[in-house]
């Protein structure tokens, strides 16, 4: 018998159906010479520190760094996992050949290899490598099984990644927790999560240190077209008024009029990050949920493998494109023109040199069903329209530039018109896609013409950098913190990005769960704990996106056989060892999470005036059982593990006085306050009060 091991029961069921293994047994399918079984994702994990010695149960600095001579694996402690593994172990011992049917990626390879290693497999192993779960794709994959040895480097890269994360995560977390956590706060450090947090903290500091400045610009209206003065912004109103007076004394004259026709390139196909960015930008979906929806679509056979980092297709897919487009019945208004002519084989879409394990995310020939959830339909629509759009003609535009002058002051106006929409036809109803294209229509002008005009002053204020959203943070992780708008340049930088497409969503969720960051509407902000943690870490290796990006590049080189996994491990061991010595010798300070508040009797400075000790005898307004306590950054419930009531000393950028805090706690709201500088909706004044969940909000008068 041949044993097939899939990563999920649902995938095993599809494979069994194609292979003719129709008999459902306990933990596997059987038939036609095959056994088809499954894992539940990870069945095995790297051993924990205490598995290497009982002394490591204690989080003591004297035992750091923890560096096992040989890293071992163990079963995850779960009865269901243990039961399924015994079935796999028994089948492995009886079969004549194993076919690895895990997800065709680094993580999928690692999951399967660890299971086979734990089961002491000595049988020949082959690899099923497919990009879709349709019957045709599965049949083609089994007709072209590969030797497991072909994917040895992929496994080595996945194993090196896991060991690297263990070495840094275990040692740095224990190190910083014991040194700076004050015995009650676990300070989690990670190879990817810490530089990601550092990006958010850096952006937040840029916003907080930004000083808004007023500026004035000279503009004028001539023949219903608004022209901007082509000079530096003016720093004072007085200078602007002098300029306005000057403009009023002279006529407007056209210096040049130029129209250039151009083209807007088609958008690229989606990789996972691109899809997550688009879903967050248009619909506010979190990266984690987008991954969940596209994974579900893949398992339902409607789209191809989602955990990819390329925006290109393999050249051998070109003959199949016509059939996929023909099967997309719901999009016939867009596909009918494409199907009437040959599909172009453009290098912007089909390029084997840009495809490694998998191609970009596209629909399969199995159209989306009516049984999909609302969210799945939205994600499918994004993928489907993007797939169709890449085969449309480019969008033809005309760019108009008009230059003029008033006396000696130069002016200019720009305009853009869409001549032939091309691929933009698919997004004609998309307001968000088209709002940014709204530009004034410019009539034809003649050089030398002159006439009356209506000059005016525009008063503006400089704006701080925008907070990260999940969309912009994902792009930042992809490019190691660099702001890159150009698609081609971004493609080149992917090898140096931090994290992998499949793990970035989880990193963001981890930071949220650990309360290092918080989300307000679409914006992400570092919490005081997150800021303090990053400020405490002096070692740039731990928090630099660029340096972490270099580690990611080495992991990709291991995948390609261009770098030794043992060397990567050795470098991390050296880094962890030197980091441990440096941090142990640093001066200690205590970092507390927002929720754990100071114990009674301990004195600690606060950003506000000292809160009277008699407050500790008052009852918490939320649970109405426990007393209040004063912490470093807030007053809150003494039972912080079960009650999250808290009043920060600084809220929405405003430092509260003792009187304001006391009024808020006793009455549930303050009088009208001003000076809020960091409210997500840019509210600067209003009444501060608790909502029904005891979350602090600002309410404007009359609302």
Distance CA(519)–CA(523), nearest Å, equals 6
Mean pLDDT by 10 residues, the chain (703 residues): 94 95 96 96 94 91 92 94 96 97 91 96 96 92 95 95 93 91 80 93 93 95 96 95 96 96 94 94 93 94 92 93 95 92 92 86 92 94 97 94 96 92 90 55 93 96 93 89 62 72 90 92 92 88 83 89 94 91 78 42 32 50 77 76 78 83 84 79 82 79 50
For 35, other C-beta atoms within 10 Å of its C-beta total 27
Alpha helices by DSSP H, 457-538: 470-478, 487-493, 501-513, 528-536
Q: CB within 8 A of 334, min separation 6: which ones?
A: 385, 388, 425, 426
Structural domain contains residue 349 = yes
Same domain, 481 and 556: yes
Do 130 and 6 share a domain, yes or no? Answer: yes
> 153: which 2 tokens?
């480097």
| β-strands 97-101, 125-127 pairing | parallel
Closest among 688, 450, 572, 538 to 159, alpha carbons compared: 572
Are residues 116 and 11 part of one domain? yes
Q: What is the pLDDT of residue 614?
A: 39
**Torsion-angle region of residue 603: left (phi > 0), alpha (psi -120 to 50) or beta?**
beta
CA 479 vs. chain centroid, Å, equals 11
Q: What angle do CA 626, 180, 63 make, to 5 degrees?
A: 120
Kindly state whether residues 450 and 470 are assigned to the same domain: no
Please give the C-alpha separations between residue 681 and each of 137, 207, 520, in angstroms, as whole numbers.
Answer: 49, 15, 9
pLDDT at site 615: 44
Last residue of a domain, one of 359, 389, 419: 389
CATH number for the domain spanning 253: value is 2.70.20.10
Q: Which residues contact 114 (CB under 8 A, 6 or more apart)?
A: 42, 43, 44, 73
Q: Buried b / exposed e across 381-401, counting CB within 10 Å, b at 16+?
A: ebbbbbbbbbbbeebbbeebe
Residue bearing tokens 């994902």: 474
Q: Are 397 and 419 in contact (CB under 8 A)?
A: yes
- Contact between 584 and 61 under an 8 Å Cβ cutoff? The reply is yes
Nearest to 591 by CA among 637, 529, 531: 529
**What's the CATH number where 121 sits?**
3.40.50.140
Please name the residues in contact with 518: beta carbons below 8 A apart, sequence gap of 6 or more.
512, 524, 525, 527
Same domain as 33, residue 100: yes
Which structural domain range is residue 617 located in?
Answer: 613-699
Is 592 a domain residue?
A: no
- One domain for residues 46 and 65: yes
Among 389, 407, 424, the domain-final residue is: 389
Residue 682 lies in a domain: yes
Nearest CA among 495, 572, 550 for reference residue 162: 572
DSSP string, 124-137: -EEE---S--SHHH
Helix, strand, coil share (%) of the chain residues, nearest 5: 40, 20, 40
Regarding whether 71 and 105 lie in a shared domain, the answer is yes
Residues 6+ apart with CB under 8 A from 205: 531
Q: What is the pTM of this model?
A: 0.76
Three-class HEC string of 583-635: HHCCCCCCCCCCCCCCCCCCCCCCCCCCCCHHHHHCECCCCCCCEEEECCCEE
What value does the CA radius of gyration of the chain take, rounded to a whole number of Å? 30
Pairing of strands 517-520, 523-526: antiparallel
Q: What is the pLDDT of residues 319-346, one digit of tens each?
A: 999 999 999 999 999 999 899 899 999 9
Which of the residues 28, 293, 298, 305 is marked catalytic? 305
The verdict on residue 182 lying in a domain is yes
Q: What is residue 181's predicted lDDT score, i.e. its pLDDT?
A: 80
pLDDT tens track for 489-546: 556 566 678 888 888 999 999 999 999 999 998 999 999 989 999 998 888 888 888 8
Residues 21 and 126 in one domain: yes
DSSP string, 254-315: EEEEEEEEEEEPPPPPB-HHHHHHHHHHHH---HHHHHHHHHHHHHTTSB---------B-G
Q: Are residues 488 and 507 in the same domain?
A: yes
Q: What is the domain count for the chain?
A: 5
The kind and range of the H/E element at 363 are none
Q: Element (H or E) spanning 678, and its range?
A: none
Q: Distance (Å, rounded) from C-alpha 323 to C-alpha 331?
A: 13
Nearest to 306 by CA among 273, 328, 281, 347: 273
Q: What is the CATH number of the domain that holds 357?
A: 1.10.290.10
Residue with tokens 């290796």: 541
Cα distances (angstroms) measured from residue 508 to each of 210, 473, 515: 26, 9, 11
Task: Give the whole-angstrom CA distance, residue 228 versus residue 643.
Answer: 57
pLDDT recorded at residue 600: 30
- The verdict on residue 604 lying in a domain is no
In-domain check, residue 202: yes
The number of CA neighbours under 13 Å toward the Cβ of 131 is: 17
Residue 597 belongs to some domain of the structure: no
Nearest Cα residue to 343 out of 316, 315, 321, 323: 321
Q: Which helix (H) or strand (E) holds 208?
A: helix 193-209
Cβ atoms < 10 Å from Cβ of 340: 7
Within a domain: 338: yes
Residue 663 has a pLDDT of 84
**What is the C-alpha to C-alpha distance for residues 392 and 428, in angstroms, rounded to an integer?**
14
Question: 254 with 402: CB under 8 angstroms?
Answer: yes
Q: What are phi and psi of 286, to 5 degrees?
A: -70, 160
CATH number, position 204 = 1.10.460.10
Q: Could you tell me how far CA 215 lies from the centroid of its own chain?
A: 35
305 is an active site residue: yes
The verdict on 173 and 254 lying in the same domain is no
Kindly list the distances between the CA atom of residue 207 and the CA atoms of 198, 319, 530, 673, 679, in Å, as whole numbers in the listed order.
Answer: 14, 51, 16, 22, 12
Q: Count the residues in the chain.
A: 703
* Domain stop point among 567, 584, 601: 584
Please check whether residues 339 and 426 belong to one and the same domain.
Answer: no
562/684 same-domain check: no
Burial zone of 380 (CB within 10 Å; 0-12 exposed, 13-18 middle, 19+ buried): buried
């Amino acid at each position: 018998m041949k044993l097939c091991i899939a990563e999920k029961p649902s995938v095993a069921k599809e494979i069994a159906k194609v292979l003719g293994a129709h008999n459902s047994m306990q933990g596997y399918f059987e038939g036609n010479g095959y056994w088809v079984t499954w894992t539940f994702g990870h069945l095995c994990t790297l051993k924990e520190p205490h598995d290497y010695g009982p002394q490591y149960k204690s989080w003591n600095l004297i035992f750091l760094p923890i560096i096992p001579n040989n890293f071992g694996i163990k079963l995850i402690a779960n009865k269901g996992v243990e039961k399924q593994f015994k079935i796999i172990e028994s089948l492995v011992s009886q079969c004549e050949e194993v076919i690895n049917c895990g997800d065709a990626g680094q993580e999928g390879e690692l999951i399967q290899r660890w299971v086979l290693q734990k089961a002491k497999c000595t049988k020949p192993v082959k690899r099923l490598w497919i990009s879709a779960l349709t019957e045709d794709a599965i049949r083609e994959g089994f007709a072209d099984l590969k030797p497991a040895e072909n994917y040895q480097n992929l496994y080595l890269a996945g194993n090196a990644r896991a060991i690297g994360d263990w070495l840094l995560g275990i040692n740095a977390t224990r190190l910083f927790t014991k040194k700076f956590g004050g015995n009650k706060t676990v300070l989690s450090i990670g190879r990817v999560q810490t530089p990601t947090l550092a990006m958010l903290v850096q952006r937040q500091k840029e916003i907080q240190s930004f000083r808004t400045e007023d500026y004035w610009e000279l503009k004028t209206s001539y023949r219903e077209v608004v022209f901007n003065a082509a000079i530096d912004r003016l720093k004072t109103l007085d200078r602007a008024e002098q300029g306005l007076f000057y403009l009023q004394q002279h006529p407007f004259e056209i210096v040049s009029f130029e129209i250039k026709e151009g083209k807007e390139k088609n958008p690229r196909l989606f990789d996972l990050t691109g899809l997550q960015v688009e879903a967050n930008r248009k619909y506010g979906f979190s990266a984690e949920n987008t991954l969940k929806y596209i994974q579900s679509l893949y398992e339902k056979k409607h789209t191809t493998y989602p955990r990819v980092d390329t925006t290109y297709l393999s050249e051998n897919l070109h003959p199949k494109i016509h059939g996929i487009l023909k099967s997309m019945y719901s999009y016939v208004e867009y596909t009918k023109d494409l199907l009437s002519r040959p599909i172009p084989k453009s290098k912007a879409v089909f390029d084997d040199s840009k495809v490694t394990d998998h191609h970009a995310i596209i629909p399969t020939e199995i159209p989306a069903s009516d049984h999909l959830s609302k969210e799945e339909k939205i994600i499918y629509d994004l993928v489907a329209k993007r797939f169709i759009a890449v085969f449309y003609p480019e969008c033809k535009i005309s760019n108009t530039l008009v230059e003029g002058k008033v006396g000696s002051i130069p002016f200019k106006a720009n305009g853009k018109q869409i001549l032939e929409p091309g691929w933009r036809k698919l997004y004609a109803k998309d307001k968000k896609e088209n709002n940014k294209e709204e530009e004034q229509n410019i009539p034809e002008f003649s050089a030398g013409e002159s006439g009356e005009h209506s000059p005016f002053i525009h008063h503006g204020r400089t704006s701080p950098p925008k907070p990260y959203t999940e969309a912009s943070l994902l792009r930042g992780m992809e490019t190691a913190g660099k702001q890159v708008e150009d698609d081609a340049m971004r493609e080149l930088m992917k090898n140096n990005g931090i994290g992998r497409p499949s793990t970035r969503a989880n990193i963001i969720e981890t930071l949220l769960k650990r309360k290092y960051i918080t989300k307000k509407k679409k914006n992400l902000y570092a919490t005081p704990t997150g800021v303090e943690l990053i400020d405490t870490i002096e070692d740039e290796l731990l928090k630099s996106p660029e340096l972490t990006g270099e580690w990611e590049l080495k992991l990709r080189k291991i995948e390609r056989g261009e770098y030794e996994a043992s060397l990567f491990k050795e470098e991390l061991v050296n880094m962890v060892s030197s980091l441990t010595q440096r941090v142990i010798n640093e001066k200690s300070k205590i970092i507390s999470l927002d929720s754990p508040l100071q114990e009674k009797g301990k004195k600690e400075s606060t950003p506000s005036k000292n809160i009277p000790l008699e407050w500790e005898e008052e009852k918490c307004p939320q649970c109405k059982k426990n007393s209040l306590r004063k912490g470093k950054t807030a007053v809150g419930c003494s039972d912080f593990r079960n009650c999250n009531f808290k009043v920060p000393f600084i809220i929405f950028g405003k430092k509260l006085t003792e009187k304001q805090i006391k009024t808020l706690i006793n009455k549930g709201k303050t009088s009208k306050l001003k000076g809020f500088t960091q409210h997500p909706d840019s509210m600067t004044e209003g009444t501060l009060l608790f909502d029904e969940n005891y979350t602090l909000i600002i309410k404007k008068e009359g609302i």
